[in-house]
Amino acid sequence: MKTPEQKAADEALEQAIRQCLEAYGVFEDSELVMTEFVCAVEGQSWDEDGNSITDVGLLFRGGQMKHSTAIGLVIQASDMLRHGEQSE
């Protein structure tokens, strides 16, 4: 069961992604409708010796997603980045 804070955060994240898609013109030349998203977030901290510690967190539409769908999206995004594509 999600908390009210989690529900509000999920809605705010989806709205922010929709706003970014529109502002950056992603999908503007098509009739595509956003159906899923994965947000990868990098965080960094430092230990007592000053060594950098990096971690990655994942956020999904609605807070969860089938692993097969998430993996497919991440692989597709990775392929697009490697080939210099912005969106299809």
Q: What is the pLDDT of residues 25-79, one digit of tens each?
A: 988 888 888 899 999 999 999 999 999 999 999 999 999 999 999 999 999 999 9
**pLDDT at residue 32, rounded to an integer:** 83
Q: Is residue 88 part of a domain?
A: no
Structure tokens at 39: 């947000």
User: What dihedral angle (degrees, nearest 10) is formed by the CA atoms of 36, 66, 38, 24?
Assistant: -20
Q: Is residue 87 part of a domain?
A: no
Is 90 exceeded by the pLDDT of residue 13? Answer: yes
pTM of the model: 0.81
Domain count, the chain: 1
Q: Write out the residue range of the structural domain in which residue 40 sits.
A: 4-82
Q: Is residue 15 part of a domain?
A: yes
- DSSP code per residue over 36-76: --EEEEEEEEE-TT--EEEEEEEEEGGG---HHHHHHHHHH
